[in-house]
Amino acid sequence: MKPGGLEVIDLTHTIHASMPVFPGTEPPRLEDPYTIERNGFAEKMLHLVSHTGTHVDAPGHILPCAKRLDGFPAGCYLGPGTVLDVSVVRGRAVEIGDLESCAPRLRRAEFALLHTGWAKYWGAEEYFGRYPVLSPAAAQWLAGLGLKGFGVDTISVDEVDSTALPVHRALFARDMVIIENLASLEPLLGKEFVFSCLPLKIADADGSPVRAVALLR
């Protein structure tokens, strides 16, 4: 769709009761306490963890005393974006050398989105497998570019069984936000766009589901 001359690419997975969630996390429950038939109006009751589905992480998700989502101005959740295509990387970490050719685009961007191609496994067991992640050195390199945020089409920016969380920590140390579980980024390859990941304005929020979109002219 092209409202006002803009093409809107939806990068968000739908929230539903049987959706994939991070291992060990409680799945969402969506209830209908009010219906048109019973009450004359419809309202849903939402029971979900703040990192359900396509969501944004605040530094306070991991770092003590760090900024939470409501501590960022709304403008921190949108800006020029670029996609880093690492879909050929398999069986190893994404290194600085895999990203250096993107440096000119990264200098014009405020959000870097990592296209691993893993979104095709959404809903399958493979989604929790050995997806590519940034090496600690690549994470530090990216964190030094002055970006607002970094997004991935995987369940996490770190390996699913990581406890040290080096990528989270490197990015959060620079006050960046992290967007996880993005839907397919392939339509954005080679394109310039504005990325938006506006969260709910929840007090002291460590994370929030978002409707992530890319806006193209």
Task: Transcribe 147-183 into DSSP letters.
Answer: -SEEEESSS-SS-TT-SS-HHHHHHHTTT-EEEES--
Task: Check residue 5 and give its pLDDT.
Answer: 82
pLDDT in tens, 117-129: 999 999 999 999 9
Binned at pLDDT 50, 70 and 90, residue 45 comes out as very high
Q: Is residue 70, in this structure, part of any structural domain at all? A: yes
The yes-or-no verdict on residue 3 having pLDDT over 60 is no
Cα–Cα distance for residue pair 31/134, rounded to 1 Å = 38
Q: Is residue 27, in this structure, part of any structural domain at all? A: no
Question: In the predicted model, what is the mean pLDDT of residues 68-75?
Answer: 97
CB atoms within 10 A of CB 52: 23
Question: In the predicted model, what is the mean pLDDT of residues 86-103?
Answer: 96
Binned at pLDDT 50, 70 and 90, residue 56 comes out as very high
Domain holding 210, by residue range, is 3-14+49-216
Strands across the sheet containing 213-216: 7-10, 213-216, 193-196, 78-85, 111-115, 149-152, 177-180, 55-57, 207-209
Q: Is residue 165, in this structure, part of any structural domain at all? A: yes
In the chain, the number of structural domains is 1
Binned at pLDDT 50, 70 and 90, residue 67 comes out as very high
Write the burial class of residue 103 (CB in 10 Å: 0-12 exposed, 13-18 middle, 19+ buried).
exposed
Question: In the predicted model, what is the mean pLDDT of residues 172-178?
Answer: 98
Q: Is residue 206, in this structure, part of any structural domain at all? A: yes
Six-digit token string for 72: 């960022």
Q: Is residue 20, in this structure, part of any structural domain at all? A: no
Q: Is residue 37, in this structure, part of any structural domain at all? A: no
This prediction's pTM? 0.95
The CATH number that applies at residue 139 is 3.50.30.50
pLDDT in tens, 101-147: 999 999 999 999 999 999 999 999 999 999 999 999 999 999 999 99
